[in-house]
Amino acid sequence: MVNITLKDGSIIQCEEGTTVLQIAEEISKGLARNALVAKLNNQVVDLTTPINTDADLEILTFDSLEGQHAYRHTSSHILAQAVLRLFPGTKLAIGPAIADGFYYDFDTEHTFTPDDLEKIEAEMVKIIKEDLPLERKEVSREEALQLFKEKNEKYKVELIEDLPADAQISLYQQGEFVDLCAGPHLLSTGKVKAVKLMSLAGAYWRGSEKNKMLQRIYGTSFPKKAALDEYLNRLEEAKKRDHRKLGQELKLFTVMDEGPGFPFFFPKGMVLRNELENYWHQIHREWGYQEIKSPIILNRQLWERSGHWYHYRDNMYTTVIDEEDFAIKPMNCPGSMLVYNSEMHSYRDLPIRMAELGLVHRHELSGTLHGLMRVRSFTQDDAHIYMLPEQITQEIKGVIDLVDSVYSLFGFDYYVELSTKPEKAMGSDEEWEKAINALEKALQEKGMEYKINPGDGAFYGPKIDFHLRDSLGRTWQCGTIQLDFQMPEKFNLTYVGEDGQKHRPVMIHRVVFGSIERFIAILTEHYAGAFPTWLAPVQVKVLPITERQLVYAQKLADELFKEGIRVEVDKRSEKIGYKIREAQLEKIPYMLVVGDKEMENGTVSLRARKEGDKGTVDFTEFKKALKVEIENKE
């Protein structure tokens, strides 16, 4: 008999060789029905996996990320099987699960169309109804190579050839379809209930422009049609909120053909941007930061010293000045360290917090550019904290509090990830372990839940990432705290300690917005362009009913302007209903409608973006309440 420890700590006994599914059935018939895969000793496995020793076991349903991943990974295999049935001779590349869906890359002479997606989706439904079992087979490298060479699947052969000679390889078969795959998968195709193919795209094999362009089909799947419909409705709402569309409609920003990846901000967009930057300056003064500005172009020797020339060269724009190599900065940190090193520091000076709104440039592939979300030129709201080793935990906790105050203001909740040492990294394992432990200690002392993200740290240190959730439930990675023991060494940063000797400070790199441009894009979609009054490019629009009220309307606007309120007067000879609709489309927070009655009484007819018509109000009282709303950033 073997002992199985369940997630709740309870222990059940079973015979050696009992499968995970049999355990699930013993716990509950309902659990067995909803089970997709399981976590056995912290490894995600198929339900058919036998248990031969004492083990920890967690049965996973669609409520878990691992369950969703397996569900959609199986869906991608169903997609590939459907494509092969309809378009024989198609070569298979890869087909993973992704956030909220899956995709598969195909090499075929046939060019897929939206009509083809309907046919493929119908064939997928047939395969689901066939309820084909997914059977796992483990074979040698030689057996796998022979199988896929016989099938003329050159991409699978290439993947296998990259594996070690003694590698044990797993295949999954459903009906006539066999795929190279590590798994895990669902028990059968019939476990998938609701599928939808979403779109077509091009994708280079293995992500390299040097390789052939393949055709990628994206899809998603859910256990219930109602859940799929809800997801599709959210996508429709997301299209309406697309910051690229709203940026044009509200005359905020755009990207033009003359500068791919280099955004243009219009006057109203600059108002929004300036308000965010003014807020940034304010909170950094309050939290004890000094502000600096470093040059946009610096010489090659600096980037060699920082490691960027070797680790990040392909993403940097370079030039030659006076026969010397220079680079446009992709990051602000080296400039900050030069400022730190410009004078001697005592241990009494630390921590020193230096903040910079720094314009950086990074060469991103054209296919990855996306409005303000992914650009080649952006302003990072950087800060670098130089501190004593014993100040690490307190400073990290301070940054966490700062980030929390900012995100709370905008109505975001968030979750946290801790990213560890990547494959390409500077520094010893001991230094990395020390840095990771410091970040973990700060998170634990703050009582924060967090997820470990293995291998995703920066090349110079581990990091804490903050992922925002917007009003549609989507997540965006924005804030970052990176702990760095490497750069102070490379730049020979020092302070004079109590003993009169020179010592090495520890460094934190951190951003809150991430970048001004991307944060504006996120806010635009989060609020659907209806920004809070303090951020709105135009806060009030005065709407005279006829030309007789123009002088009065302008007088009201002038009074608001003197109070620092952003106001416009609609002077057009249009009907008032049309003016109101136009102001609503512009998402103006407040509209002041003025006719003869309002002009005689010194009042306004107030319309609010949220509440609609609020009737006649005293103008002075409105102005007073509006100032409080703006000052409090409500």
Average pLDDT in the 246-250 region? 96
Percent of the chain topping pLDDT 90 = 85
Shared-domain flag, residues 71 and 46: no
Instruction: Return the CATH number at 389.
Output: 3.30.930.10
**Assigned domain for 116 exists:** yes
- Report pLDDT for 610: 87
Radius of gyration of the chain (CA): 30
- Report pLDDT for 524: 96
Shared-domain flag, residues 422 and 559: no
**Assigned domain for 370 exists:** yes
Tally of structural domains, the chain: 4
- 239/258 Cα distance (integer angstroms): 25
Active site residues: 333, 362, 380, 382, 384, 463, 509
Shared-domain flag, residues 157 and 27: no
pLDDT of residue 301 exceeding 90, the answer is yes
CB under 8 Å to 338, separation ≥6 — which residues? Answer: 294, 302, 491
Each residue's pLDDT tens digit, 159-184: 999 988 888 899 999 999 999 999 99
- Report pLDDT for 433: 87
- Report pLDDT for 359: 96
- Amino acid, single-letter form, for residue 34: N
Average pLDDT in the 192-208 region? 94
Instruction: Return the CATH number at 620.
Output: 3.40.50.800
Shared-domain flag, residues 79 and 132: yes
- Report pLDDT for 461: 85
Q: Which of 61, 78, 104 is the last residue of a domain?
A: 61
Average pLDDT in the 515-521 region? 96
pLDDT of residue 306 exceeding 90, the answer is no
**Torsional sign, CA 568, 573, 576, 580:** negative
Confidence of residue 545 (pLDDT cuts 50, 70, 90): very high
Cis peptide before 532 (omega within 30 of 0): no
Each residue's pLDDT tens digit, 347-397: 999 999 999 999 999 999 888 889 999 999 999 999 999 999 999 999 999
Shared-domain flag, residues 290 and 223: no
* CB contact burial 475-487 (16+ within 10 A = b; e otherwise): ebebbbbbbbbbb
- Report pLDDT for 311: 81
Each residue's pLDDT tens digit, 54-94: 999 999 999 999 999 999 999 999 999 999 999 999 999 99
**Assigned domain for 252 exists:** no
Average pLDDT in the 239-249 region? 94
Shared-domain flag, residues 135 and 217: yes
Partners of 590 in beta bridges:
540, 608
**Assigned domain for 319 exists:** no
**Assigned domain for 512 exists:** yes
**Assigned domain for 248 exists:** no
Do 52 and 16 contact (CB within 8 A), yes or no?
yes
- Report pLDDT for 455: 87
Each residue's pLDDT tens digit, 260-297: 999 999 999 999 999 999 999 999 999 999 999 999 99
Write out the residue range of the structural domain in which residue 416 sits.
258-294+331-526
Shared-domain flag, residues 158 and 264: no
Average pLDDT in the 424-435 region? 83
pLDDT of residue 542 exceeding 90, the answer is yes
Shared-domain flag, residues 467 and 434: yes
pLDDT of residue 426 exceeding 80, the answer is no
Do 459 and 425 contact (CB within 8 A), yes or no?
yes
**Assigned domain for 323 exists:** no
- Report pLDDT for 365: 87
Each residue's pLDDT tens digit, 434-491: 889 889 999 999 999 999 888 888 777 899 999 998 888 888 889 999 988 888 998 9
Q: Which of 169, 203, 238 is the last residue of a domain?
A: 238
**Assigned domain for 531 exists:** no
- Residue with the two structure tokens 């303000």: 372
Residue 530 in tokens = 């209806």
Do 542 and 553 contact (CB within 8 A), yes or no?
yes
pLDDT of residue 609 exceeding 90, the answer is yes
Give 78-128 as a DSSP string: HHHHHHHHHSTTPEE----EETTEEEEEEE-SS---HHHHHHHHHHHHHHH
Shared-domain flag, residues 465 and 571: no
- Report pLDDT for 430: 84
Partners of 213 in beta bridges:
204
